[in-house]
Amino acid sequence: MKLNLYPAFEALSLSHEICYNTEKDNNGIYQLLDFSDHRSSASRGNCRFTRGLMNGYILHTHPYGSKAYPSSEDILQSINSRHTKISFIVTTIGVWELIYKGNKSVNNKNRNSIMKRINDMISEPLYDAGLLRGLDRSKPQTITKKQLLNKIKRYTIRVSKLLEKKGIKGFKINFTHIHDIPDDRLYNSFKNKSKKKKKTKRKTKR
């Protein structure tokens, strides 16, 4: 699926996160529809996808200065919301996709321990990632793309493993680095990317 992420990248300079529903246009491109709860003055956590027309593809932003990775609430929301197929997060370092194909949800007993573990341990290497982030916000973290991608790979594996231990199977996080997103912000979801990979594999076999 192809998404027009232009409005979300523009919204990264706002001081609060923006939530979007998506709608497929006549060209087959998913366009973003602002679905923020503007009654809330909170700078985050104001995305509540409980009302309105839903096709299961939702998106929200983590603006400059906020965490550039999914929050533990984002992860639990994508698992426990029956209507969410893919939850996209646009951040200053790139785009995240949270995908859950299982049918179990996180119960209240496991909820706090999972959130604590993700916040305190698993996300720790990514605390400073992102623009205007970290202890000294005037100095961007000096880290290569390769180093960042390695950190993110470890992070996604650890999240999936933790959830599996708690009986939640089939949760996956994908990440696309900001440099791999085209300037026009027309973004190809991993749904397409995996297809392409299979094709090239077949070719090399021949």
Question: Of 60, 32, 58, 64, nearest to 45 (Cα)?
Answer: 60
Total binding residues toward Zn ion, as defined by CB under 5 A: 2
Report, in Å, the least distance between residue 151 CB and Zn ion: 18
Q: Nearest residue to Zn ion, using CB?
A: 74
User: Which C-beta is closer to Zn ion: that of 71 or that of 174?
Assistant: 71
User: Which C-beta is closer to Zn ion: that of 16 or that of 24?
Assistant: 16
Are the beta carbons of 62 and 51 closer than 8 angstroms? no
Q: How far is CA 33 from CA 25, 56, 90, 128, in A?
A: 12, 13, 14, 30
Cα–Cα distance measured from residue 197 to residue 188, given in angstroms and rounded to the nearest whole number: 13
Cα–Cα distance measured from residue 75 to residue 58, given in angstroms and rounded to the nearest whole number: 13
Q: Which residues contact 133 (CB under 8 A, 6 or more apart)?
A: 65, 66, 67, 68, 92, 127, 141
Report, in Å, the least distance between residue 144 CB and Zn ion: 25
User: Which C-beta is closer to Zn ion: that of 29 or that of 54?
Assistant: 54
User: Which C-beta is closer to Zn ion: that of 78 or that of 189?
Assistant: 78
Report, in Å, the least distance between residue 172 CB and Zn ion: 17
3's enclosing H/E stretch is strand 2-4
Report, in Å, the least distance between residue 192 CB and Zn ion: 24
71 binds Zn ion (CB under 5 A): yes
Compose the 74-113 pattern: x for residues touching Zn ion by CB under 5 A, - for all others.
x---------------------------------------
Stretch that binds Zn ion, among 68-76, 133-141, 161-169, 198-206 (CB under 5 A): 68-76
86's enclosing H/E stretch is strand 86-90
Binding site for Zn ion (CB under 5 A): 71, 74
